[in-house]
Chain A
Amino acid sequence: EAQVTQNPRYLITVTGKKLTVTCSQNMNHEYMSWYRQDPGLGLRQIYYSMNVEVTDKGDVPEGYKVSRKEKRNFPLILESPSPNQTSLYFCASRKKADHYNSPLHFGNGTRLTVT
């Protein structure tokens, strides 16, 4: 089944403890992206990747890192999480990076709580 898989689905951690949220897609998609969703603010783009080894900032990149060493994986790294990073995170992918009008496929989200 074609899908975007995020892990974990739920994560509770403490301030300052490094964590990684994994994202993997099995559709051979070029483009991948991370979003966070907060009540009243909607979906905001954190980082995106047009292809392997090519990443760029979205609207809210502060406090996050990403890497794209292989086509299928796009992990989101929080080196020193803070409570304001408590949010619902979504990973998404699309087939071709320059086919901007092709639809995004989203994972089912990771709910992160930082205390």
Chain B
Amino acid sequence: EDQVTQSPEALRLQEGESSSLNCSYTVSGLRGLFWYRQDPGKGPEFLFTLYSAGEEKEKERLKATLTKKESFLHITAPKPEDSATYLCAVTRGSTLGRLYFGRGTQLTVWP
């Protein structure tokens, strides 16, 4: 049973064209939702942690938001260097050692 679902699987944007990536989750007792960025041939790199519905965090052109059922990663005026796979993951209270990842959204930003 999928606990974390990301959409779309792939997204192509022109430089400057803002958009959003979605991460929906079905875990109970959510303790934290994470966003990571992964470049080809490398391990995921941490971007944000969100704890509770209504929370927002920003970093450069990225803004992450959280509701009770999903999170969005908004990308404002993206640049080609934002091209990467973006991964969403969650932890829940009953199993603090476990981290459940979605399948990722592959973002390509072309000039």
Complex: A41 Cα to B98 Cα, angstroms: 17
Q: Mark A83-105, 1 if CB is under 8 A from B, else 0.
A: 00000001010000110111111
Which positions 20-62 of chain B face chain A at CB distance < 8 Å? 31-32, 34, 36, 41-46, 49, 51
Q: Interface size bucket, B side?
A: 20 to 34
Residue A48, interface by CB 8 Å: yes
Q: How far is the CB of B52 from chain A (nearest CB, A)?
A: 11
* Contact, CB under 8 Å: A107 / B46: no
Q: Mark B64-107, 1 if CB is under 8 A from A, else 0.
A: 00000000000000000000000101010000111111111000
* Contact, CB under 8 Å: B46 / A100: no
* Contact, CB under 8 Å: A98 / B102: no
* Contact, CB under 8 Å: A40 / B103: yes
Partner pick for A103 among B46, B97, B103, CB 8 A cutoff: B46
Complex: A33 Cα to B43 Cα, angstroms: 13
B104 contacts which chain A residues (CB < 8 A)? 42
Complex: A48 Cα to B96 Cα, angstroms: 11
* Contact, CB under 8 Å: A90 / B97: no
Tally of chain A residues near chain B (CB < 8 A): 28
A50 contacts which chain B residues (CB < 8 A)? 97
Max chain B C-beta neighbours (<10 A), residue from A31, A97, A98, A100: A100
Residue A43, interface by CB 8 Å: yes
Closest to B33 in A: A101
Q: How far is the CB of B46 from chain A (nearest CB, A)?
A: 4
* Contact, CB under 8 Å: A100 / B31: yes
**Known pairs A45-B99, A97-B96, A97-B97; A109 contacts B51 (CB<8 A):** no
Residue A65, interface by CB 8 Å: no
Residue A62, interface by CB 8 Å: no
Q: List 14 A-B contacts (CB under 8 A).
A: A31-B97, A42-B102, A43-B44, A43-B89, A44-B101, A56-B97, A92-B43, A97-B97, A100-B32, A103-B34, A103-B46, A106-B44, A108-B41, A109-B42
Q: Which residues of A contact B (CB under 8 A)?
A: 4, 31, 33, 35, 40-45, 48, 50, 56, 58, 90, 92, 97-98, 100-109
